Chain A
Amino acid sequence: MTKGDEQRRRLRAKNLAVAFLLLGLVVLIYWVAMVKMGGG
């Protein structure tokens, strides 16, 4: 694997991690909103 491939792979992994983190945050805030409004 070349250095460029390795860098691209790392960047892709980092982007994926950030995407999952944001998705998790959205789900969490949605769930919290439901609880605070008494629906959860």
Chain B
Amino acid sequence: MARAFHQTRLDTLPGHAAGQSEFLDYWRLLKPNVMQLVVFTGGVGLFIAPGSLHPLLAFVAILCIAVGAGASAAINNAYDTDIDRVMVRTRLRPTASGRIAPADALATGLTLAIGSVTVMGLALNWLAGGLLALTIAFYVVVYTLWLKRRTPQNIVIGGAAGAFPPMIGWVAVTGRIELMPVLLFLLIFFWTPPHFWALALYRQKDYANVGVPMLPVVAGAATTRRHILGYSLLLAAISLLPSLLGTAGWLYLATAALLSAGFVLGAWRLVRTASDRQAMRLFKFSIVYLFGLFLALVLDHVAQPWLSA
């Protein structure tokens, strides 16, 4: 069924509305789903930072973060074409299915990377531009080229790339790295392993087929589930830090406590039931968790004048 669908799409694409489908392929190359989360967390960093920014500059900062993330995704797609072709989850990607040549994807990624860093540096400040460059380089060089195919710790260390956007947003406004953006970085850094391991448990065979040493493939499902529980406990502790250290209020604290309790409970259930369905449920919850925490930061920030009055 999936193969038939895949075949049909490939057959119909070149002739039918070629220009439009090519545009959509280039859009998909930038992994818009990942971009959404990056834009959201980067936007929150920008919103809660002390100080103000002209709306145009705020828009440009978010745009640069989004384009930088898209650039990383395009370069990642170009390099991983061989394994993306084999994996069920990724075989419809424009590079994997042959609709965009890896060289074109690489050129697109490099152009967008240089463009986004330059505009961020010129329009906002060069610390924000430098952090954006570091994020792209980290994702491409450290994660994609170095760690992904070598170690089960790939997403633990590589996850740092996804943790930078709120810091970039903050620095775009203030021009400085302070305690709060470091806490936001840690939050996403410790959220990434249980998030991806829950998905990897569900897609274990896919990763094993292409020889990517994800933790479930190398250490087994039981060890992975215990790691998820361990990281969820660490994450719960870190999620409370912004309020405990005085950089966020009780509204955030209450939300973080509630959501973290849900995360730990989900991880505990995963260890107890050892079911793939629970792994998928935890993966989906982890997305709601991160959106929820960052939304709570925004609401807490907006409500602060009334709450402290």
Contacts and interface: CB of A to CB of B under 8 A. Distances in A.
Interface of A: 6, 9-10, 13-14, 17, 25, 28-29, 31-32, 35-36, 40
Contacts, number: 31
A29 B123 contact: yes
B3 interface: no
16 contacts: A6-B18, A9-B19, A10-B22, A17-B23, A28-B60, A28-B119, A29-B122, A32-B56, A32-B57, A32-B60, A32-B122, A32-B123, A35-B54, A35-B57, A36-B123, A40-B56
B122 A13 contact: no
B18 A10 contact: yes
Interface of B: 18-19, 22-23, 54, 56-57, 60, 115, 119, 122-123
Contacts of B119: 25, 28-29, 32
Interface of A (DSSP majority class) = helix
A13 B115 contact: no
A6 B22 CA distance: 13
Contacts of A10: 18-19, 22
A16 to B, nearest CB: 10
Given A6-B18, A28-B119, A31-B56, 15 more contacts: A9-B18, A10-B19, A10-B22, A13-B22, A17-B23, A25-B119, A28-B60, A29-B122, A32-B56, A32-B119, A32-B122, A35-B54, A35-B57, A36-B57, A40-B54
